[in-house]
Amino acid sequence: MKNVCVIGAGTMGNGIAHVFAQNGYSVSLVDVSQDQLNKAMSTITKNLDRQVSKNAITAQTKESALKNIVTHTSLATAVKSSDLVVEAATENLNLKLDIFRQIDENATANCILASNTSSISITKIASVTSAPERVIGMHFMNPVPVMKLVEIINGYATKKEVTDNIINLSRQLGKIPCVVNDYPGFIANRILMPMINEAIYSLYEGVAGVEEIDTVMKLGMAHPMGPLQLADFIGLDVCLSILNVLHEGFGNPKYAPCPLLVNMVTAKRLGIKTGEGFYDYAQGSKDLIVSEAFKK
Ligand SMILES: NC(=O)c1ccc[n+]([C@@H]2O[C@H](COP(=O)([O-])OP(=O)(O)OC[C@H]3O[C@@H](n4cnc5c(N)ncnc54)[C@H](O)[C@@H]3O)[C@@H](O)[C@H]2O)c1
């Protein structure tokens, strides 16, 4: 594999493009928004600069990584010469089905089709393509350049050669792959999201404040971030989409999203990406300042 196409240049897409480019792959980064592509390139440059300043990579690696990335707004053009497509667009079923129909029409027969979805069924995504055996989940964690895990999800029809290929590729990127089967939320989010939802319910019911909830989980459970801070980091819209998939997929009310989460998403308080969630990021994300809405 040499040519990789990454679709979606948001939080995850820019990290995925960064990691492939740093490891010598030619990357075509696609988004519907040119503005988002420009933002992604400046984020990648900033993150590579940070790696250089920490002596994690050389200035030369940074330069060649940046040269390895070409941006596109046309999916059809970008996908054509790719050996692997990693889709990292917005977490929405119909959007992803539409993207996979387009990839299927434009990619070569040997191209592997991967999705970075957090929760949407790989089997369902594969069902709109002409060759479901080449479709797989390649679930990177946020922030991609830092986090070691790649959760690999086998769809119902995924061929063993495809899984083996993605396992080897993940290792080449310096990641640790872990293979799971295709059920709602897979493993990572089936376990993480109910915890985040429970933290939001605890806040909603007045059991404790934002700081107290996060402090209990950080100091008591040795979590590097509290669940509310993590939700802001992931994006509250992404958390809500995943909970809806778990709720519908299992038909179990224990996954129903907390009404406070639904309200915050409706009000566009999505966490770091909109500047406010449980915390206020007007001054950046280094110092944790509880959002005005949750100050006692
Ligand atoms: N945020 C996380 O922590 C996290 C972690 C793991 C996986 N994921 C998954 O990664 C995917 C992307 O999430 P994100 O947080 O980066 O979202 P995001 O909102 O930051 O970015 C999504 C990007 O997709 C683009 N997009 C929308 N429609 C498109 C289309 N038709 N073609 C090309 N680009 C399109 C948008 O313009 C946007 O730039 C989702 O499936 C999400 O579940 C997210």
For 30-42, the pLDDT digits (tens) are: 999 999 999 999 9
Count CB neighbours of 292 within 10 A: 8
Per the CB < 8 A criterion, the answer to whether 110 and 81 are in contact is no
List, for residues 226-268, the tens digit of each pLDDT value. 999 999 999 999 999 999 999 999 999 999 999 999 999 999 9
pLDDT band at 284 (very low <50, low <70, confident <90, very high): confident
Across the range 212-221, mean pLDDT stands at 98
Residues in the chain: 296
pLDDT the model gives residue 267: 98
189 noted as active-site residue = yes
pLDDT at 193 over 80: yes
The Cα 76–Cα 68 span in angstroms is 19
Residue 58, Cβ density class (10 Å: 0-12 exposed, 13-18 middle, ≥19 buried): exposed
Secondary structure of 251-265 in the HEC alphabet?
A: CCHHHCCCHHHHHHH
The predicted structure's pLDDT at residue 287: 85
Is 139 assigned a catalytic role?
Answer: yes
Closest Cα partner for 279 from 228, 209, 237?
Answer: 228
Task: List, for residues 141-163, the tens digit of each pLDDT value.
Answer: 999 999 999 999 999 999 999 99
Using the mean position of ligand 1's atoms as its centre, give its distance from the Cα of residue 85 in Å: 14
Q: How far is the CA of 99 from the centre of ligand 1 (A)?
A: 12
- pLDDT tens figures, 40-60: 999 999 999 999 999 999 999
Q: Is 28 in the pocket of ligand 1 (CB under 6 A)?
A: no
Render 47-112 in DSSP notation, one character per residue: HHHHHHHTTSS-HHHHHHHHHTEEEES-HHHHHTT-SEEEE---S-HHHHHHHHHHHHHHS-TT-E
Q: Specify the pLDDT at position 286.
A: 81
Coil, strand or helix at 185: coil
Pocket test for ligand 1, best of 5, 11, 96, 138 (most atoms within 8 A of CB): 11
Q: Is the pLDDT of residue 28 over 80?
A: yes
Whether 151 is catalytic is yes
Catalytic residue list contains 74: no
- At 285, the pLDDT band (50, 70, 90 cuts) reads confident
pLDDT in tens, 94-139: 999 999 999 999 999 999 999 999 989 999 999 999 999 999 999 9
pLDDT at position 32 is 97
* pTM, rounded to two decimals: 0.93
pLDDT number for residue 196: 98
Active-site entry in 3, 68, 115, 118 = 118
Distance in angstroms (rounded) separating the CA atoms of residues 58 and 135: 35
Q: Is the peptide bond before 143 cis (omega within 30 degrees of 0)?
A: yes
Measured distance CA(23)–CA(159) in Å, rounded: 26
Which tokens hold the place of 127? 């069902």
> For position 217, what pLDDT does the model report?
98
**pLDDT score for 104:** 97
**Residue 10 in 3-state DSSP?**
coil
Q: Using CA positions, which residue lies closest to atom 33 of ligand 1?
A: 31
Q: Find out whether the beta carbon of 170 lies less than 6 Å from any atom of ligand 1.
A: no
- 9-15 mean pLDDT: 96
Question: What pLDDT shows up at residue 257?
Answer: 98
Q: Please report which confidence band the pLDDT of residue 167 belongs to, taking 50, 70 and 90 as the band edges.
A: very high
- Residue 296 pLDDT: 76
